[in-house]
Amino acid sequence: MSGPSDFQPSNPALQWLERRLPILGLMHSSFVVYPTPRNLNYWWTFGAILSFMLGMQILTGVILAMHYTPHADLAFKSVELIVRDVNYGWLLRNMHACGASMFFFAVYVHMLRGLYYGSYKEPREVLWILGVIIYLLMMATGFMGYVLPWGQMSFWGATVITNLFSAIPYVGESIVTLLWGGYSVGNPTLNRFFSLHYLLPFLIAGVVVLHVWALHVAGQNNPDGVEPKTEKDTVPFTPHATIKDMFGVACFMLLYAWFIFYMPNYLGDADNYIPANPGVTPPHIVPEWYYLPFYAILRSIPNKLAGVIAMFSAIIILCFLPWLDAAKTKSSKYRPLAKQFFWIFVAVCILLGYLGAQPPEGIYVIAGRVLTVCYFAYFLIVLPLLSRIETPRPVPNSISDAVLAKTGSRSTPMVSTAIVLALAGSLFAGSIDSAKASEGSDKPPGNKWSFSGPFGKYDRGALQRGLKVYKEVCANCHGLSYVAFRNLAEPGGPGYSVAQAAAFASDYKVKDGPNDAGDMFERPGRPADYFPSPFPNEQAARAANGGAAPPDLSLITKARSYGRGFPWFIFDFFTQYQEQGPDYVAAVLQGFDDHVPEGVTIPEGSYYNKYFPGHAIKMPKPLSDGQVTYDDGSPTTVAQYAKDVTTFLMWTAEPHMEARKRLGFQVFVFLIIFAFLMYFTKKKVWADSH
Amino acid sequence: MNPDASTIAAGAPIEVDLSPVAEGQDIKVFWRGKPIYISHRTKKQIDEARAVNVASLPDPQSDEARVKSGHEQWLVVIGICTHLGCIPIAHEGNYDGFFCPCHGSQYDSSGRIRQGPAPANLPVPPYTFVSDTKIQIG
Ligand code: FES
């Protein structure tokens, strides 16, 4: 993409093609001989990482779309079926869902890198603006994709976000109707979001081509911000940049695989494992983490229209960055003040993200307002001002000078980091205190689960006992509608044989029909049947249980959670702690108490439970000692029952967990070896360029 | 991309029987995919709604203008927060009315916005009393 190429393929067939369509020459000049600055650091590999992620998302997305049903009544179920029944469906889904987060993570690093090194400055303004357009398209795509599983967060996220447009004067309402295709978010909305979610990635790919084109016309920026002048300043793209990018991608894939195989639900919201219900708003609507800073800006402004405007301008302002920051020196490496402010800005964004996830009350609102002002001040006051008052340090003459100088001295500009840490620390400390005060001390106690950790497996005995408890106790009120009898004989499950599963199924009566006479009839269950629900529909369940329908238990251990709070959620990432759901379920089963503590009033028809949010639960104490007999000699206590049935329900929610962790280990071994190979190859290739 | 004919047809008026709703209770019905709250207000709630100084409200509207005269005890509102569309919870908040859990908007016993980011009162859907105990919405 940088002018005509003199590339001549040696193969006559390729020569023939080249004379008619010089595509090989284009590739050759863009990705092989293309001169890339010698001093690029690893932050520059994020371009390649992003291309990789885009390809990954499109590939997994296309396959997922083959199995997905975009209908309000079926979407949730079809996603569950993908995870349970499609070959490696769980892998595809995790790759796609975690992939979205990884994509955004990479794009944020990529954007901040551009910000730090001044990559938006002359002559790269158009390149930068194209980047902002890609980012906007990504946000739209990510949002619509999050709606497709049609869980509670999908539905209510869609409601909140589409309603943003109703703030526009005069035309707002009609725009919202157009987005919905009805009078509220519903099936037509889901259909059009699916269509657009499929379309937008290809638009992104198109803009990415423009982005790369613009990049190859203007040339890459580099950490020193001086343009290459001589041959000595650059190295050819292949093999130098190619191999370095491959090493970068390999390292990034390690992080990606950590999420896919070990923490697939870490970044998601438990509420999204509850099917969408237009009649109930979840108590706390949070968008995906990558929108949180903007959500915090939206909420910190107490006026609807102004809030929406602020939120959108927080993104649009990026387009004007090349003109807001008029400093001649590109790289913040040589701008002592800009560097400090850059890190403060990063801290502001992270804190805004943290606030976006907190309930909109008290100190959080005030902090949100302060940080919103800081966010805009960075662009509108700090950057324009700095370009006038700051005296940058001298910039090296050329890239090769910079590379030579680097091998000599190494300065340690740690002041800014200290400022940032102090600032972040104090704000976090403040917010934890208030969070502690408001939450009380009813966190479910942690348990030791056989299935936790990177090598966790289900305890077969516990699964079998848990199934018995479910069958004899829970099944009277709770369904298990995503689990089929055949699953009982599948590897990684309770370990029954196919014949045992069939015998188990035949104990059940299943409704079938209509037969030739047009009547419905009952027959014994077959392995392919699903556990029958105790009530014919939700209304019946509600009516029989004092107004609160007993939830289906198939996904309950993933659909319930409790806030871990700062700093636990950070440690959880490293310890792979994912058992909030099982801990909560086990705690609720054991949390009943006839003695209601003072200050808690329990309405008629409800029961006190220590761990249930609000403490008043409609379910009476389900388990008591000795209620279910065990033939393997395990203690018949409530604690044991709770533990067994929770293990069983964890399996119903994650039937392929053992396969997932096993494959994860293999992938990790492979990726680590691959990354090492890439690293040493890179060392070799770059040996005489440094 | 506007709503198709079947969606529009499904949005035809509906009739709701009010006789089972006791004083102080409310029911939620769905019309055009939107939840409609029908509250049977107590004397206290009506008095509270009428006692405020209308001019001091963020979206000034008198309680009389929001209910049908002769049926003051019935409040019929679309239960969609005018901020960003969550469903407010009835009988919560500081004003004996509705509280939106999403961003903390509070509405009074007449469904008028009193506190929080929502800009407007809960809208009153078009409805008429067919008889003393039956209304038609739409
Ligand atoms: S949607 Fe009700 S306060 Fe925001």
CB A103 within 8 A of CB A190: no
Topology of the domain covering B16-137: Rieske Iron-sulfur Protein (2.102.10)
Which contacts (CB < 8 Å, 24+ apart) does range A266-269 have? A266/A572, A266/A573, A266/A578, A267/A98, A267/A101, A268/A97, A269/A153
Enter the pTM of the model: 0.89
**Contact assignment for B32 to A156 by CB distance below 8 Å:** no
Strand order in the sheet with B127-131: B14-17, B134-137, B127-131
Name residues contacting ligand 1 (CB within 6 A): B 81, 83-86, 100, 102-105, 116-118
Chain A contacts of B85, Cβ < 8 Å? 159-160, 162-163, 166
The tens digit of pLDDT for each residue in A167-209 reads 888 998 899 999 999 888 999 999 999 999 999 999 999 999 9
Contact residues for A505 (Cβ-Cβ < 8 A; gap 6+): A485, A524, A525, A526, A527, A529
Looking from the CA of A553 toward its CB, the CA atoms found within 13 Å total 28
Nearest CA to ligand 1 atom 3: B103
φ, ψ of residue A165 to 5 degrees: the values are: -70, -20
Q: Does position A440 have pLDDT exceeding 50, yes or no?
A: no
Give me Rg for the CA atoms of chain B.
15
Say how far apart CA A374 and CA A336 lie, in whole Å: 19
Q: Which of A82-91, A224-233, A356-365, A585-594 has the lowest mean pLDDT?
A: A356-365
Taking the CA of residue B81 as reference, the ligand 1 atom at the shortest distance is 2
Nearest by Cα to A177 from B10, B34, B2: B2
CA of B117 to the centre of ligand 1 (A): 7
SS3 category, A92: helix
Q: Does position A654 have pLDDT exceeding 70, yes or no?
A: yes
* B104 interfacial to chain A (CB closer than 8 Å): yes
Say how far apart CA A560 and CA A84 lie, in whole Å: 20
Contact residues for A160 (Cβ-Cβ < 8 A; gap 6+): A285, A287, B84, B85, B86, B102
- Tokens representing A217? 């016309």
Nearest by Cα to A619 from A546, A531, A535, A552: A546
pLDDT at site A414: 53
Pocket test residue of B34, B78, B84 for ligand 1, highest count of atoms within 8 A of CB: B84
pLDDT at site A438: 41
Say how far apart CA B34 and CA B17 lie, in whole Å: 18
Share the mean pLDDT of chain B.
Answer: 87
* Tokens 């190429």 belong to residue: A5
pLDDT at site A417: 61
Q: What is the phi-psi region of residue B75: left when phi exceeds 0, alpha when psi lies from -120 to 50, beta otherwise?
A: beta
Nearest by Cα to A367 from A377, A355, A381: A355
Count CB atoms within 10 A of the CB of residue A15: 12
Closest chain A C-alpha to B49 CA, distance in angstroms: 24
Say how far apart CA A299 and CA A19 lie, in whole Å: 59
Q: Which amino acid, A649?
A: L
pLDDT at site A688: 76
**Contact assignment for B119 to A305 by CB distance below 8 Å:** yes
Say how far apart CA A33 and CA A585 lie, in whole Å: 60
Q: Does position A488 have pLDDT exceeding 50, yes or no?
A: yes
Confidence of residue A401 (pLDDT cuts 50, 70, 90): confident
User: In the beta sheet, which residues pair with residue A498?
Assistant: none
User: In the beta sheet, which residues pair with residue A616?
Assistant: A608
pLDDT at site A407: 57
The tens digit of pLDDT for each residue in A560-618 reads 888 777 778 888 888 888 888 999 999 999 989 888 888 777 777 788 888 887 787 88
Confidence of residue B82 (pLDDT cuts 50, 70, 90): confident
pLDDT at site A7: 80
The tens digit of pLDDT for each residue in A129-174 reads 999 999 999 999 999 999 999 999 999 999 989 988 988 889 988 9
Which parts of A288-398 fold into alpha helices (H)? 292-300, 304-316, 321-324, 336-356, 363-377, 383-389
* B58 interfacial to chain A (CB closer than 8 Å): no
Chain B contacts of A181, Cβ < 8 Å? 1-4, 7
* B94 interfacial to chain A (CB closer than 8 Å): no
pLDDT at site A432: 46
Confidence of residue A542 (pLDDT cuts 50, 70, 90): confident
Closest chain A C-alpha to B132 CA, distance in angstroms: 27
Q: Does position A92 have pLDDT exceeding 90, yes or no?
A: yes
Contact residues for A164 (Cβ-Cβ < 8 A; gap 6+): A298, A308, A311, B84
The tens digit of pLDDT for each residue in A444-461 reads 888 899 999 899 999 999
Say how far apart CA A268 and CA A588 lie, in whole Å: 22
pLDDT at site A513: 83
B71 is catalytic: no
pLDDT at site A439: 44
The residue extents of the domains of chain B are 16-137
Closest chain A C-alpha to B35 CA, distance in angstroms: 7
CA of B88 to the centre of ligand 1 (A): 8
Chain B contacts of A155, Cβ < 8 Å? none
Mean pLDDT of A262-271: 90
pLDDT at site A57: 97
Best mean pLDDT range from A165-179, A323-337, A512-526, A659-673 = A659-673
SS3 category, A592: strand
User: In the beta sheet, which residues pair with residue B127?
Assistant: B137
Q: Which of A409-423, A463-477, B83-97 has the lowest mean pLDDT?
A: A409-423
Confidence of residue B7 (pLDDT cuts 50, 70, 90): confident
Q: Which residue has the higher pLDDT, A3 or A85?
A: A85
CA of A55 to the centre of ligand 1 (A): 37
Q: What is the phi-psi region of residue A535: left when phi exceeds 0, alpha when psi lies from -120 to 50, beta otherwise?
A: beta
CA of A173 to the centre of ligand 1 (A): 17
Taking the CA of residue B100 as reference, the ligand 1 atom at the shortest distance is 2
How long, in residues, is chain B? 138
Q: Does position A433 have pLDDT exceeding 50, yes or no?
A: no
User: In the beta sheet, which residues pair with residue B34?
Assistant: B31
* B1 interfacial to chain A (CB closer than 8 Å): yes
Confidence of residue A423 (pLDDT cuts 50, 70, 90): low
Say how far apart CA A315 and CA A326 lie, in whole Å: 19
The tens digit of pLDDT for each residue in B21-77 reads 888 888 888 888 888 999 999 988 899 888 888 888 888 999 888 998 888 889 999
Q: Does position A412 have pLDDT exceeding 50, yes or no?
A: no
Q: Does position A657 have pLDDT exceeding 90, yes or no?
A: yes
Q: Which residue has the higher pLDDT, A72 or A402?
A: A72
Say how far apart CA A106 and CA A99 lie, in whole Å: 10
CB within 8 Å of chain B, chain A residues 314-373? 360-361
Q: Does position A385 have pLDDT exceeding 90, yes or no?
A: yes
Percent of chain A with pLDDT over 90: 63
Chain B contacts of A361, Cβ < 8 Å? 104
**Contact assignment for A159 to B28 by CB distance below 8 Å:** no
Contact residues for A538 (Cβ-Cβ < 8 A; gap 6+): A549
pLDDT at site A290: 93
Q: Which residue has the higher pLDDT, A633 or A130?
A: A130
Q: Does position A429 have pLDDT exceeding 60, yes or no?
A: no
CB within 8 Å of chain B, chain A residues 220-249? none
Chain A contacts of B125, Cβ < 8 Å? none
Question: Cα separations (Å) of A61 from A69, A92, A238, A257, A318?
Answer: 13, 8, 30, 17, 29
Pairing of strands B89-92, B97-99: antiparallel
Closest chain B C-alpha to A198 CA, distance in angstroms: 17
